[in-house]
Amino acid sequence: MDYIRRVTDLETGEVKSISLGEHLTFTEAATKFSVTRPTLVKVLLQLGLVQKEYDTVARENRYRLHPEAEKKRLGKRLMGPHGPFDVLGPSALEWIEADLKAILAASTFDRATVTALQALDAYDAERFTKLDVEGKVLWLVHHFPDLPVRQMAQGLGVSERLVHRYLTKRRDQLERARKRMGGRSSPQTSRKRSLKPNPRRTGKPSPRDP
């Protein structure tokens, strides 16, 4: 959502609107960066943008935008009809985008996983259109078939269930393709059969002829 600030011109008394840029809730930001909301919150904790507070409306602890982050205009702490919520501003979104991959890769990944994720990032950076999450999963499976699903999911910031769903979908597609190909004869095989000499036509004796 694009937020604005209204200011009054002291000379003319005219009220003007100043755009503050796009602001996203935590859930919207997680969708933007193709990660789960809990993964995004972990990144925000690493960056010092959120803190845990007790929500008197929901009567439970929640992660809220840090007051200092609001003072730095990195976001806003708001009160909605259903309780408090927060939005992240353009500067915070740029910061997250710049550090997200590094923070995820710096978690509990082994050397092989880091290598796979770095290769994926390098490949995706060269593409004209970026891969979506499903495309990234399939690319990793094709180039790094031994990469565990758990590490793949953590590296991409998605759930293991989602990764399994994409893998099952891919296996089903391959199985259907194999069944379709299995019902067709190979063109090369058919050609070889047609070119096989017929002893009766060539005049050569057949082993069965007396």
Rounded to 5 degrees, what angle do the CA atoms 122, 127, 129 make? 130
| pLDDT of res. 60 | 83
The token pair at 19 is 């755009």
| pLDDT of res. 139 | 95
Radius of gyration of the chain (CA): 30
| CA-wise closest residue to 88 among 76, 105, 102, 103 | 76
Report the half-sphere exposure of 14 (CA within 13 A, side-chain side).
5
pTM for the structure as a whole:
0.48
Rounded to 5 degrees, what angle do the CA atoms 68, 54, 35 make? 70
Contact 83, 58 (CB under 8 A): yes
- Which letter does DSSP use for residue 62 in this model? E
d(CA 38, CA 29): 11
Each residue's pLDDT expressed in tens, for the chain with a length of 210 residues: 555 445 455 566 665 554 445 789 899 998 888 888 888 888 888 888 999 888 887 788 889 999 999 998 899 898 878 788 899 988 888 888 888 877 776 665 777 888 898 899 889 888 888 899 999 999 999 999 999 998 888 888 788 899 999 999 999 988 888 888 876 654 554 444 444 555 454 444 445 544
| pLDDT of res. 192 | 47
The token pair at 80 is 């909605």
Domain range list for the chain:
2-7+15-93, 108-182
| pLDDT of res. 16 | 52
